[in-house]
Amino acid sequence: MNIIIVGCGKVGYKLIEQLSYEEEHDITIIDTKDEVVQGAVNDYDIMGVAGSATDIDTLNEAGIDKADVLITVAGSDELNLMICLMAKKLNKNCQTIARVRKPEYFKAINLIKEELGLALVINPELTVASEIARVLRFPSAIKIDTFAKGRIEILKFEVPKGNVLDGMKLSDMPSKIGTHVLVCGVERGEEAFIPSGNFEIKAGDLISIVASINDVSHFFKKIGNRTNRVKDALIVGGGDTAYYLANMLIQSGINVKIIEQKQERCEELFHLLPKATITHGDGTDNKLLMEEGLAEFDSFISLTNIDEENVLLSLYAKSQTNGKIVTKINRIEYGNVIGELQLGTTIYPKNITAEYIVRFVRAKKNSLGSNIETMHFILDGKAEALEFRIKEGSPISNKKLLDLELKENILIASINRGGKPIIPRGQDMILAGDTVIVVTLKEGFKDISDILR
């Protein structure tokens, strides 16, 4: 595919990183800064054009007439929408993707999408809020990814010292725990595994399990982890993410308090969120946090625009409460260091935005055997979980799983048939019409046939 990416910031770089290893993609980056373009060209085997994407000459130089997909993640919503409009006028067959952040635009997003012919619109703040809301439903989970239209989830959690899972072999889990879950991945230090039945779980491991929503609750109860969702949430930072998140939590019956430093924004939030408690003040003030009841809250979410503030706030909250801690981090390159601080759930908006866009691009390359319905990066980005829809004539259909010759480091984690999730065993078969979740340490799968030797 010929792909043009407009904007070479953190998200643009992440998109290049995720898409450039697929040899069939020819990628061209457009950015107004020549040194940024040259840096991307030197780091990856791509083309680059320095200039404004609102200039027709720049788009033509980038090859808009032959582009299959144009992705615009520039800093301005208006700029992104205008570039998509121009791209469609210059090449009606080009699929356009725009990052749009402002809530006022997103209220009319269906109208905008239709009028401009956009293939995909991504709102990072709304997407991040949705991810946080999911995690607050299961406080024991560090990360939750959903599949099969929400019927199946992959949850990541840490095995506490002395937990019933500590020292248990995976093959013993069904008899000792008695729940229908499947361990699809394990992170131990810097290593990531798709484990076999002989794998022994240890305290401190980060375990990813796949299960239906009901089975997840049962599993966490069995191993003694917290299962009840939070009753209230204290949010520091009153930006768009906080607004979207508070709205979702309030609709779920969760009490919300937001601490915001700017008086004007407090007044806006007061009108936008009449059921939330809005406090004007400096959320980095420990005394204020305690006065606002930090120690009594079930959850604490740091959403300021400064990573260092969010990290320090979460560390302080961790020392004062047993509640769920969620930390927003913008700078992806700090991920390894932050992971060692054990801040609970860390959210990287740039990663989430890139993941949604890569999922769309990957799905456009489907062959006849299957469609990619959903894709998530798991195991700290070292693995992918892909949901394929199986079509008639697929090379894996109507065969027992034990008879399939799979590549190494691949696990068929779940089958969804007519809305019923199935944790697969060797005797199970995949049928046309099913959706199948595949977990792999390999990258770039576009069709279900890619899992076969």
Residue burial 175-185, b: 16+ Cβ < 10 Å; e: rest: eebebbbbbbb
What pLDDT is attached to residue 283? 94
Chain segment 292-321, per-residue pLDDT in tens: 999 999 999 999 999 999 999 999 999 999
| Type of residue numbered 132 | I
Q: Which of 14-18, 336-340, 391-395, 424-428 has the lowest mean pLDDT?
A: 336-340
What pLDDT is attached to residue 367? 45
Q: Are 258 and 281 in contact (CB under 8 A)?
A: no
Chain segment 224-249, per-residue pLDDT in tens: 887 778 999 999 999 999 999 999 99
Chain segment 409-432, per-residue pLDDT in tens: 999 999 999 888 898 988 999 999
Give the residues across from 378 on adjacent strands.
Answer: 383
**Alpha helix ranges (H) inside 44-180:** 56-61, 77-90, 103-106, 109-116, 124-137, 173-177
Pairing of the two strands 383-390 and 370-378: antiparallel
Tell the CATH superfamily of the 128-223 domain: Regulator of K+ conductance, C-terminal domain (3.30.70.1450)
Chain segment 37-89, per-residue pLDDT in tens: 999 999 998 999 999 999 999 999 999 999 999 999 998 999 999 999 999 99
CA distance 360 to 61: 25
pTM of the model as a whole: 0.85
* Most confident region among 133-147, 284-298, 378-392 by mean pLDDT: 284-298
What pLDDT is attached to residue 22? 64
Pairing of the two strands 277-280 and 299-302: unpaired
CA distance 216 to 138: 9
pLDDT above 90 covers what percent of the chain? 61
Domain with residues 232-347, CATH architecture: 3-Layer(aba) Sandwich (3.40)
What pLDDT is attached to residue 23? 59
Tell the CATH superfamily of the 366-451 domain: Regulator of K+ conductance, C-terminal domain (3.30.70.1450)
Chain segment 94-137, per-residue pLDDT in tens: 999 999 988 888 778 888 888 889 999 999 899 999 999 999 98
Residue 366 pLDDT class (50, 70, 90 cuts): low
Give the residues across from 318 on adjacent strands.
Answer: none
Please give the average per-residue pLDDT across 367-396, as a whole number: 81
Chain segment 186-213, per-residue pLDDT in tens: 999 889 999 988 999 999 999 999 998 8
Same fold, 128-223 and 366-451: yes
Q: What is the mean pLDDT of the chain?
A: 90
Model confidence at 262: pLDDT above 60: yes
Residue 368 pLDDT class (50, 70, 90 cuts): very low
**Domain spans of the chain?**
2-122, 128-223, 232-347, 366-451
Model confidence at 339: pLDDT above 80: no
Model confidence at 254: pLDDT above 70: yes
Q: Which of 51-65, 133-147, 216-230, 261-275 has the lowest mean pLDDT?
A: 216-230
Pairing of the two strands 182-188 and 191-193: antiparallel
What pLDDT is attached to residue 1? 86
The CATH number, out of the four listed (2.60.40.10, 3.40.50.300, 3.40.50.720, 3.90.1720.10), of the domain defined by the range 2-122: 3.40.50.720
What pLDDT is attached to residue 370? 53
Model confidence at 266: pLDDT above 70: yes
